[in-house]
Structure 1
Amino acid sequence: MSRVDAPPRGRKERLGLRVRLRRDRSLLLMTLPAVVLLLVFNYVPLFGLVTAFQDYNPLTGVWNSEWVGLGQFEALISDSLFWGSLKNTLYLSFVQLVLFFPIPIVLALVLNSVLSERLRNFVQSIVYLPHFFSWVLAITIFQQMLGGAGVLNQFLRSHDIGTWDVMTDPDSFALLVTSQAIWKEAGWGIIVFLAALAAINTDLYEAAAADGAGRWHRLWHITLPGLRGVIMLMLVLRLGNALTVGFEQFLIQREAVGHDAADVLDTFSFYYGIATNNYSYGAAAGLFKSVISLLLIWGANKLAHAFGEDGLYRK
C-alpha cells in the first residue's frame, strides 16, 4: 500500500485500540470488580465531604441541610481536643516513620542475604503471618505478654521486681503502638523491597567482587542505589498516609491509656463527630486530615525529585 492509500492516523489509532481491547479483554474483565470497588468505596463517598460545610441532619438529607460555610472549621480551630488529637497524630506519625519505615528495608536485605531458599521461605512465612491477624488478636497477644497479668509482669513478680503494665502506660504508648505495627506489618512491607532487590543486575555484584569490593561496599554502592527509587516511592506513599496512623488499633486501646494519649484525628472524628451525631464536625476533621495528607504527598514528591527520582509522578 502506498503512503497516499494509507488509512488516516485517527483511523489507525482506533483500529489499534480495538485490537488491544480485544486482546486484553480477559484482563480488563478481571480488573473490573476492583475498579467498581474503588469507585463505590473511594470516589462516590467524596460527595459526602459537602457535609463539612453544612449543619448536616440525616433526617433532612444533604440537599436540605443548613449551609454554614466554614463554621465547622472555625469550631475545630477553637477546640483544644482537636489540637490535642492533631498533636498526637503528628507525634505518632513521626515515631512510626523513624522506627517503622526502615524495618522492612532491613528485613529485606537480611532475607536477601540468606543463601538457603528453604530457610528464606520459612522466615518469610513467619514474618508475613501477623499481617493476616486482626488488630483485636494482635493487641490481645500484646496484652498477654505485656499487660498487668502478662508474662512480663509475672516474671518481674517472681523476682520481686516492681511491675510495669505497658498496656496502660500513656508515656510509653507511642512506642507500644509502633512496636505493634512493626510486629504486624513489617513482614508484609518487605515484599516490595524483595522484588526491587531481585531486579538488581547480579553482574554488578560479580564485577564489584572481582575488583575486591567487600560486602559492605557492595551494599553501599550497588544495593542501596538500586533500592533508592523504590525507597523514595514508598516514602512518598508513607507520608501521604502518615496521618492515618491506625483507627482500629487506637480505638481498641483508647480506654486503657486515656484519650489524651490515644486520640488521633480518626478517633476524634469518630468520638466527637459520628458518636455524638455531629456528622458535619467529624467530616470537617476528616477533610482537614485529607488536605494535610495531600500537602505531605506533594512535599514528599518534591523531595523525591530533588534526589533525582520520579516519585509518584515525573516533573
Structure 2
Amino acid sequence: MKAVLEQDYASKKKKNKFLHNIKRDKWLFALLLLPLAYILIFRYAPIYGVVMAFQDYNIFAGIKRSEWVGMDVFQFIFQQDSFYRALKNTLLLNVYDLIAGFPAPIILAILLNEVRAAKFKKITQTVLYLPHFLSWVIIGGMVYLMFSNSGMVNTFLANLGLAKIEFLSQKVPWLMTYISVGVWQQIGWGTIIYLAAMTGINKELYEASDIDGCSRLRKVWHITLPGIKSTINILLILQIGRMVSIGFDRPFVMGNSLVSDYSDVISTFVYRVGISSGDFSQATAVGLFQSVVGLILLIGANYIAKKLGEDGIW
C-alpha cells in the first residue's frame, strides 16, 4: 500500500512539475507550435499516401477507391532497365560527391580557422556561403555560359590555340563539371558546421601546444581534427544514409539528352514516370524504395561506427 501511495505521489509530482514548466516557459513552447505543425502537416501526414505504391492509383478514384494490386508495381519497376540505370547513376554520383565533396568543407574550415585576420576571414566566409543561396536554375545558367562550346572557358581555350573541351556533352568532362559545381555550391555551407564545432575545442590545448613548440600542422592533426571527430562521424553517417537519394534540381538542370545515360537519376526517373507520364503509383513505389534502402544504410553506417568505437547519431 505504501509503495502504491509513493508511486502516485511521484506521478503527481512529475505531472505538476511538467505543468509548472509549461506555465513558466509558455512563450518558448508557443514558438515550437509552428515548426511542429510544419513537421506534422508536410512530413507525417503525407505518409498516408505511401498506400499508392500498392495500388493501381487512379487520380479520379482517389486512394480509397483505387484498385489494390499489392507488390505488382514494385515488380514492374524492378523489371525496367531504366530504373537500374537511374539507380546506378544515383549511387555513382553520390559516391563521387562523397569522395570529393565531404572532405572539402573540413579542409576549408581548418584553413579558415587558421586565418588570424578577422576582417579577411569574415569577408571570405560571406563570399563562400553565397553560392548555397543561389537557385540551381541560376547556377545551371552560369554553368552553360561558362562551359558550353561557345562559353567563356572554351572561348579562352580557342584564343590560346587549344582544342575545345566538351564539358556538357561527354561523360568524363560532364562528371567533372557536375561534381566540381556541386562542391563549389555546398562547400561554404558545410564549413559553417565544422567552424561551429571548432569553437567548442578547449583553447588551453592550443596554448599548451604553443609552449611545447608544435607547428600549425601538428596542432591541426592532434587537436583540431580530434576535436571535431564526432561531428565528422555524424555527418558522414547521414551522408551515407542519403546514398540512394539525390536532389532533383542539380541533375535535371545540368543534364541533357547527350549525357542522359549518366545524368538520369532516381529523382529524374520519378519525375518522368510520376509527373510526365502520370503514373503516381510508380513514383510512390520508387520513393518508398529510396526511403527503406536509405534507412538500412543509415542504421548500418551507425552500427559500424559504434563497433569501431566512434560516436553515432544514437
- TM-score band, normalised by the shorter chain? over 0.9
CA–CA distance in structure 1, aligned partners of residues 113 and 255 of structure 2: 38
**Equivalent residue, structure 2, for 1:150:** 151
CA–CA distance in structure 1, aligned partners of residues 174 and 165 of structure 2: 13
Compute the displacement of 1:46 (Å). 1.1
The two structures have a TM-score, normalised by structure 1, of 0.94
Compute the displacement of 1:58 (Å). 0.5
**Equivalent residue, structure 2, for 1:196:** 197
CA–CA distance in structure 1, aligned partners of residues 28 and 149 of structure 2: 53
Aligned residue pairs, count = 310
CA–CA distance in structure 2, aligned partners of residues 253 and 162 of structure 1: 23
CA–CA distance in structure 2, aligned partners of residues 199 and 51 of structure 1: 47
Question: For residues 106-185 of structure 1, what are the structure 2 equivalents within 5 Å?
Answer: 106-185=107-186
Compute the displacement of 1:234 (Å). 0.6
**Equivalent residue, structure 1, for 2:77:** 76
- Whether 1:300 and 2:305 are equivalent positions in the alignment is no
**Equivalent residue, structure 1, for 2:32:** 31
Letter of the 1:125 counterpart: T
**Equivalent residue, structure 2, for 1:220:** 221
CA–CA distance in structure 2, aligned partners of residues 61 and 246 of structure 1: 28
Compute the displacement of 1:304 (Å). 2.2
Once the two structures are superposed, residues 223-255 of structure 1 have per-residue CA deviations (whole angstroms, 9 ceiling, x without a partner) of 111111000011111112232222011122332
Gaps of 5+ in 2: none
**Equivalent residue, structure 1, for 2:246:** 245
Letter of the 1:218 counterpart: K
Q: 1:27 to 1:174 in 2, by over 3 A?
A: farther
Letter of the 1:61 counterpart: G
Letter of the 2:156 counterpart: F
CA–CA distance in structure 2, aligned partners of residues 179 and 71 of structure 1: 40
CA–CA distance in structure 2, aligned partners of residues 255 and 89 of structure 1: 16
Compute the displacement of 1:128 (Å). 0.3
Question: For residues 93-112 of structure 1, what are the structure 2 equivalents within 5 Å?
Answer: 93-112=94-113
Compute the displacement of 1:30 (Å). 1.6
Kept in 2, the 8 Å contact 1:232–1:311? The answer is: yes
Compute the displacement of 1:256 (Å). 4.8
Letter of the 2:199 counterpart: A
The two structures have a TM-score, normalised by structure 2, of 0.94
Compute the displacement of 1:167 (Å). 2.0
Runs of 4+ in structure 1 over 3 Å off? none
- Whether 1:63 and 2:68 are equivalent positions in the alignment is no
Once the two structures are superposed, residues 10-57 of structure 1 have per-residue CA deviations (whole angstroms, 9 ceiling, x without a partner) of 121112111211222222222221111111111111111111111100
